[in-house]
Amino acid sequence: MKLIPILAAAASICAATPAFSALVTVDFDNLASQVVTNQYPNINFSNSVTVTSDPAFFEFTGNPSGLSVMVVNAAEGATSVMNVTTGFVGNASFSFSNISGATGTVSVFSGLNATGSTLASFTLAANDNLNQWYQLSQDFVGTAYSISFAGNDGNIAYDNVTVNAVPLPAALLLFPFGAAGLGLTARRKRKV
């Protein structure tokens, strides 16, 4: 019977443990076109994403991850959104290459689906040097939930999108059980 209070106390301590962020890099390798699998839990993209390692995109060779890249599909509005359902904090970074002098904007938002406040914004300068990849990184304050890749009409490729993802606070699920255990123990002691 003395084991129940010990288990309840352990569950309460676990519930109080903070959730730390972890770096997650989406490199688009081994992903089917327009699909992000469980390789990246809690991350999803809008339908306008094309993941390609097609040799026809020769301009986008030499990418940092070495295989596939993300190209925003111009036929669907030339904007794509990456949602991180648990949120991410501190910093966002990515690599990009553009062709035909294309320019674009990448923005970090406080809400899902590019809603809420803009926490950070990147302007992608025109580049005439094909196969040249650049890495951009920017710090921001607050918790972000989405990144919008806009204005590039399929002429910009992205790779290695990195965020500090906040994991699901699974320990919080233990709190009700720990509290219930402590309550039952206290109630049982009062009856005796």
82 lies in the same domain as 163: yes
With bands split at pLDDT 50, 70 and 90, how would you rate the model's confidence at 178?
Answer: low
Query: What mean pLDDT comes out for the span 187-191?
Result: 65
69 shares a domain with 157:
yes
User: Do 100 and 187 belong to one domain?
Assistant: no
Are 102 and 162 contained in the same domain?
A: yes
Same-domain check for residues 126 and 179 = no
Tokens of 96: 């990009």
Q: Distance of CA 132 to CAs 58, 101, 143, 157, 158, Å? A: 12, 12, 31, 11, 12
pLDDT in the model for residue 7: 52
Name 51's Cβ contacts closer than 8 Å, sequence gap at least 6: 28, 31, 32, 33, 34, 35, 68, 69, 70, 71
Range of the domain at 174: 1-18+169-192
- Grade residue 15 by pLDDT with cuts at 50, 70 and 90: very low
Q: State residue 76's pLDDT score.
A: 55
User: Do residues 161 and 110 share a domain?
Assistant: yes
Residues 12, 53: one domain?
no
Q: What is the mean pLDDT of the chain?
A: 75
Question: Residue 44's domain is classified under what CATH number?
Answer: 2.60.120.260
Q: Mind giving me the DSSP string for 18-46?
A: PPPPEEEEE--TT--TT---TTSTTEEE-
- 191 shares a domain with 106: no
Averaged over 138-145, what is the pLDDT? 95
How many structural domains comprise the chain? 2
Share of the chain above pLDDT 70, in %: 58
Instruction: Check pLDDT > 60 for residue 139.
Output: yes
Residue 173 has pLDDT above 60, yes or no: no
Q: What's the pLDDT tens digit per position in 114-126?
A: 999 999 999 888 7
Claim to verify: residue 138 and residue 76 sit in the same structural domain: yes
* pLDDT confidence band for 90 (50 / 70 / 90): very high
Same-domain pairing of 163 and 173: no
Which sign, positive or negative, has the C-alpha torsion 23, 167, 143, 65? positive
The residue written with tokens 């040799």 in the block is 55
Task: Measure Cα distances from 1 to 7, 14, 144, 191, 192 in Å.
Answer: 11, 21, 46, 15, 13
- What pLDDT is recorded for position 94? 94
Claim to verify: residue 46 and residue 56 sit in the same structural domain: yes
The better pLDDT of the pair 42, 192 is held by 42
pLDDT in tens, 35-67: 554 567 788 887 667 777 665 565 667 788 877
For residue 8, pLDDT over 60 is answered with no
